[in-house]
Amino acid sequence: MQNIVIVGAGAAGIGLGVLLQKAGIKHFSILEKDKIGSSFRQWPKEMRMDTPSFPRQGFGALDLNALSLFSAAHHVWLFLPYIVLLMLGGVLHTRIWHKHKAAALSEAPFIRRSFLQTPTWRDPLFRLRSVIRQFLLHAMPIFRIICLLASFLDIFNLIHYVAHLFYPLLALLNLPTEAGIGIAFSMIRKDGMLIFNEGSGTLLAQLSIGQLFLLVFLASTVSACAVTIWTVGRELGIKEAAKLISRQLITSIICSTALFLALFQLPRLF
């Protein structure tokens, strides 16, 4: 017998109960101090068909910082193959790590219907209030912590030790080791890769088109940013956060190595 207790009979609690039943688990309890679905009862009527999404930046998430780097290097057209490669990498990542979950998600458990309703001011005001509250209470504190962390690593020169961890991979992919700092900062914040353009783009000017494309792809996919890792760790636990980091790192190395072979090794055979 399973000893499972679900706290809260809102949309998430009821949804989890449905998933448990589909998984063959029949013995569980749902606790609610108020009425069933009380959290949704507080939402405006116009929004009761909506559910907030979980913030996650998984492999294959589009990164507009890449567009900035391609533009700074005067090769903005690289953004198009970059999007295609991200899509293919995302498919590969899902097939490797989430094959069974992907198959389950492909089966729609219900048909969602949408209804036209007269717009009111309550909907946008509710969303605006929620966004401002989330920004002030969640985003800003995390952002300040990340800034302090980056400053601490930079002041005590610890960021260089992190960068050294990527030197073997950069050497293997025929990329300059100076790019290790940018990759290290990109793990803290994704716009940290903009450090590649430091010094009026000296590093970018040294790269060929293939090296530029490979470096930007690697930096944007090697790891989720610290905010995502923090959120996953807080919501799902340190173990899940560690899985996110390791799996994304492995997929990024696989895709980057395949890209390196396609750009630099295969042409030599012909």
Asked whether 69 and 43 are in contact (CB, 8 A), the reply is no
Predicted confidence at residue 104, as pLDDT, reads 55
Mean pLDDT of 118-143: 81
pLDDT of residue 88 exceeding 70: yes
Q: How far apart, in whole angstroms, are the C-alpha atoms of residue 217 and residue 49?
A: 37
Q: How far apart, in whole angstroms, are the C-alpha atoms of residue 233 and residue 228?
A: 8
Predicted confidence at residue 226, as pLDDT, reads 81
Beta strand ranges found along the chain (DSSP E): 4-7, 28-31
Q: How far is CA 219 from CA 14, 37, 187, 215, 252, in A?
A: 40, 43, 8, 6, 9
Residues 212-246 have pLDDT tens digits of 999 999 999 998 888 788 878 877 889 988 988 89
> Any idea what the Cα angle at residue 217 is, between residues 189 and 242, rounded to 5°?
55
User: What are the start-end ranges of the H helices in 156-195?
Assistant: 158-164, 167-172, 180-188
**What share of the chain in percent tops pLDDT 90?**
26
Q: Among 60-64, 117-121, 141-145, 172-176, which range has the highest average pLDDT? A: 172-176
> How far is C-alpha 4 from the geometric centre of its chain's CA atoms?
30
**What share of the chain in percent tops pLDDT 70?**
83
Asked whether 98 and 91 are in contact (CB, 8 A), the reply is no
Q: Among 107-116, 143-152, 166-175, 193-202, which range has the highest average pLDDT? A: 166-175
